[in-house]
Structure 1
Amino acid sequence: MKRYSPYIEFDRKEWASLKDHDTPLSLTEVELEKLRGLNEQVSLQEVEEVYLPLTHLIHLYVGASQQLHQLTTSFLQKKARKTPYIIGIAGSVAVGKSTTARLIQTLLTRWDTHRKVDLVTTDGFLYPNAVLEENGIMNRKGFPESYDIKRLIQFIGEVKSGKPKVKAPKYSHLTYDILPDEESVIDHPDILIVEGINVLQVKKDSPLFVSDFFDFSIFIDAEEKNIARWYVERFQLLRQTAFQNPDSYFHSRFADLSEEEALVVANHTWESINAKNLHENILPTKGRAQLILKKEANHTIQNIYLRKL
């Protein structure tokens, strides 16, 4: 007997066939290069075969949501401002969430009905390093307890309620800390994308979750051995680039490591922190996503799982 699944599974060829042929690829190689992560290898072909069908589906969902809003306000005989359509994107460290989020954001802005698409990451809702150090959890950065979840829920709740000019804290990967004097302002977007490893996580002691505000959610998936390799490769690239910057938090720690020493550090960090977080807090949330993008060893998306309605 075939095991029941709440998802419809597509291989890449099947998914690509769903592309709306009236929606041409409007992304250039130059634009794509700016959207790629440090060691991401997404191609224009993948954009056309995977991301165009995906963003067209989201476009249809947004349209249906807008129509439902109009019908509801008409029924209630009240004028109410439409609220943003919110998309959550989750997945492991180094799996390519940021590239996916930027691609989806860029492609969704090409439709006239939702040109204003904003993107925030949950990195900005990490507690400042000083707070993490004070509480003895600096080595748990990225785990659920390192985030100001109440502030994140308040932020996304205000955006979803239609409040104008909602502020989100900013995070610097250079200084590895919150930027105390900088904020992003989210002001009535048509669509808001919220990207982070923790966006589908739940807390037993909280009656409200971040995902309660999502209209659509995506999980970026891959075999752990591949994610671990991508993490190590990215670490090595950062050692040669960003870590060389004297202003980098990691400059004094990793810039002068030999390639062999860096390999040891990267593997240890993955095994002792990121793999643990993946198994304890990230992978268990995969089944809560409405769409799963499964990557192969070469970073390409080969399988797509869409939750049945």
Structure 2
Amino acid sequence: MALSKEVYSPYRRFSVKEWSALSQDKTAPLTARELEELQGYNEKASMREVEEIYLPLSRLLSLYVGAVQGLNREESSFLGGNGAKIPFIIGLAGSVAVGKSTTARILQTLLARWPGHPKVDLITTDGFLHPNAKLVQQGIMNRKGFPESYDRAALLAFLSDIKSGRRQVRSPVYSHLVYDVVPDQWLEVDQPDILIVEGLNVLQTGRLRAGEPHVFISDYFDFSIYLDADEALVEEWYIQRFLELRKTAFTDPRSYFRNYASLSEEEAVKTATRIWHEINLKNLHENIQPTRERARLILHKGADHMIDEIFLRKL
């Protein structure tokens, strides 16, 4: 992982052994079956990783949540506010196929089992993508997942409402099966203790036009995580996931990608490789990877899809 030279780095580096030693509880509050249900396509996680990586991380995050909630209460009292509960927001960024969904779901489950914050919600920024019809109209369907393909104003308004302590804030629903936002369907977020926001570009600052408010998605985060891995590995994982989907989700007649189900394995590998290089790798280079050092925590994965290094920003 190419970070700044150690002496100048704003991060403290931890090996798995060093990080694991920070946990005061060596018993993972997950069963093997629960862990299996939390994993996405071709996204591996083991009970050992839960115990060594995610359990200490959930404890650290729990400390942050308690501290921020206490500060919010004190500030509200000082300002004569009504003491409305303000959710703690965690942003989770990283490339396509790096394993964000599994990481987000594991953290959601573990955090909900710590005392003091039992209600943990999770949303992905996919719901804030512009509908396919609009992307086609604008000629950017091949840039889906790039910053310009999102309804940034709607996402900022959503996060602003969450941080204002509002009740029943709605997030649009996205279907990976039909590869589009689902009309008139919403996920309701009602004052959780913690909200995890997972997406490709959640740490991106973007290019502001004159007159636009200088507000970014990450301004609403209390903690941010970047899931990292070497590009060659992520490409391999993307192709493996594509091949798995070709035999499963792509076979559904409703699937946007149903035409790929009939590809031979050789054709599928070539197609996935082309898509990776023309779209996903380009997005990674231009928009996602440059935001890595904006995260408070970087989780780096090795060849076996397991986290092998942890980088925590110095306070």
Q: Deviations over 1:34-88 (max 9, x none)?
A: 0011112210000000000000000000011111122223333443212000000
- Who is 2:304 aligned against? 298
Structure 2 segments unaligned to the other structure (5+ residues):
none
Task: Give matches, 1:1-309, under 5 Å.
Answer: 3-21=7-25, 24-205=27-208, 206=212, 207-251=214-258, 253-309=259-315
Report the secondary structure of 1:255's partner residue.
helix
Shift of the alpha carbon at 1:3? 3.3
Compared CA separation, residues 50 and 134, structure 1 to 2 (3 A): same
Amino acid at match of 2:126: D
Report the secondary structure of 1:294's partner residue.
strand
Conserved 8 A contact 2:88-2:221: yes
Amino acid at match of 2:289: L
CA distance in 1, matches of 2:57, 2:81: 34
- What percent identity do the matched residue pairs reach? 57
Report the secondary structure of 1:82's partner residue.
coil
Report the secondary structure of 2:262's partner residue.
coil
Compared CA separation, residues 66 and 133, structure 1 to 2 (3 A): same
CA distance in 2, matches of 1:17, 1:227: 28
Structure 1 segments unaligned to the other structure (5+ residues):
none
Amino acid at match of 2:297: L
Q: Deviations over 1:266-300 (max 9, x none)?
A: 00000010000000000000010000000001101
Conserved 8 A contact 2:77-2:83: no
CA distance in 1, matches of 2:9, 2:182: 43
Compared CA separation, residues 234 and 2, structure 1 to 2 (3 A): closer
Q: Deviations over 1:190-222 (max 9, x none)?
A: 000000001000123151100000000000000
CA distance in 2, matches of 1:203, 1:41: 32
Report the secondary structure of 1:39's partner residue.
coil
Shift of the alpha carbon at 1:147? 0.4
CA distance in 2, matches of 1:46, 1:27: 12
**Which shifted more, 1-10 or 292-301?**
1-10
Amino acid at match of 1:301: I
Amino acid at match of 1:173: H
CA distance in 2, matches of 1:78, 1:299: 46
Q: Deviations over 1:204-249 (max 9, x none)?
A: 3151100000000000000000000000000000001000111111
Q: Compute the RMSD of aligned alpha carbons.
A: 1.1
Conserved 8 A contact 2:23-2:55: yes
CA distance in 2, matches of 1:4, 1:168: 40
Conserved 8 A contact 2:167-2:191: yes
